[in-house]
Structure 1
Amino acid sequence: MTLKTLLAAAALVACAAGAAQAQDVTPPGFRLPPMPPITATTPAKELFGRVTRPSTGRERSIGFYSKGCLASASMLPLSGPTWQVMRPSRDRFYGRLTLVSFIQRFSKRVASNTSWPGVLVGDMSQPRGGPMIKGHASHQIGLDVDIWLRPMPNQELTMAQRETLMSTNVVAENRIDLNRFWSANHMQVLKDAALDPQVERILVNPAIKRAVCRDARGDRGWLQKVRPQWGHDYHFHVRLGCPAGEASCKPQADVVPGDGCGKALDWWFTPGRLFPRPPKIPPKPRPPMTLKDLPADCAAVIREP
């Protein structure tokens, strides 16, 4: 088995696990153990995953999407006219004020442009961002949000329903096409998100990207923001860009020019990539990120009372 195949298998396993974890149901009455001592070598997820309120001071995204933290986060209300937050027990409904504002206006557009009453909002960031005890590698600096591929119902869900209701997988078992749950509404929801000027990327399953490439009509400029990634078969991941002039926020490389519907997309469907055989010897898990691995300012963010 080649190194590329091993890497592809590891990526698929990791993303499949992440996809399952993103919908995990929290057992009733579950409580995390107390926060461990704050040291430079303590796993950062054990610290940031236990803080229950934002820090104070100036709002900042510190570091990179998958290696950083968030100062002075804003909270998205659990319910609004056109959105409802799912899995609220996770306490992952925080972000930059720009992210909160995006969700509010985007969900309003969805309610206007589709038959969906609104959107179901998955994970954003923790109260102070940072690595999570379980789940995402990114979502650390308050600029990421998952939107479920299931419409918000007409009625307000109870807290119990929000903890147990599952989203809808729209990808067929063969992983190369979509199933009967995919609709024109889904396409419009993606388009509404992509047309927002603050959105930098939208991550979807490769099969969703292929369908969008096939079915989009008229102006196709928005397709550039829609990027394929393993998993993402029951939700899509929206990422906003770093605020202009904020040096503490580390941006991603620019999105590749073009609509992303050519040879680069075909790569995801080549033999051995859709269903790669797991390696005989599983790769060793990476050591957990520690506080000393994060930008220096994150130590002050986590130590604030």
Structure 2
Amino acid sequence: MPKAVRLHGYGGTEVLKVEEVSQPTPAAGQVVVRVKAAGINPGEASIRKGVFKDTWPSSFPSGQGSDFAGVVEAVGEGVSGTRPGAEVIGFTHDRASQAEFVVVPQEQLTPRPAGVPWEVAGALFVAGTTAYAAVRAVDLKEGDTVVISGASGGVGTLTVQLARMKGARVLGVASPARADWLTSHGAEPVPYGDGLRERLQAAGPIDAFIDTHGQGYVKLAVDLGVPAARIDTIIDFAAAQEYGVKTEGNSAGGRTEVLAELAGLIADGRLEMPIARTYPLALVQEAYRELEAGHTFGKIVLTPGEA
């Protein structure tokens, strides 16, 4: 029987189990995909802990995960344009991608370009569409200066590159260890920590601010004089409400056409998604422990089917 990540209650990484489940079958308009890679995301950890249980409650037993890439296993009645054996990138809204098989509507899939590695394809949806929406939210124009917090994280690295494509000057707040990567991708690295406000002020007027990290960056953006309409946070919803800034992320950008556009940019060599590490499905607890420890450079990815 196929295996999938299952949760039977809220809690720490110890509640993540890999269990045998029934083989999914496609209904009309659906496709079953054999998953080769599935990204993991901080939001999933927060949901698992019950942080958002009033907003996005879980029904147990629950699966987990939105991102995936894999090979079409079976198609339901009425599906056209894809067939068993096709390589696809997709997403699910059913918390079900961290599994050996996932079933989704056909319209939540796009072909995997040959130039996109499996682990990158499998982690692209949440981080990629979040970065896309955040850049769009702050309305970047040629010559704007934008600050990006968490610039070396899974979302931050993509946000940096998409902002540069808009012609913006990017100040990337990150660990000094990531300075070389930021510089090589056209950003100006700014170390986080004590004195950050002064370092950013010294860089000149700031037009926009994208917060991918939380923990006070929204207030910092306001204190730096950035207009609320040009501040976007993907994580600090309480501060967004307090200061009236935007919270556009995956829910705003999470569309198949955006996923296809991002995959095309990667295939063309115009966009890079760093991969921190891959784990087999059986080590899902270890994967989330690394994610939740913080300071990850790029994405952590599960690879179902690998020992």
Tell me if both proteins adopt one fold, taking TM over 0.5 as the criterion: no
Structure having the larger proportion of residues in strand: 2
Determine which structure has greater relative contact order: mean sequence separation of CA pairs < 8 Å that are 6+ residues apart, divided by chain length. 1
Structure having the larger proportion of residues in helix: 2
TM-score by length of 1: 0.27
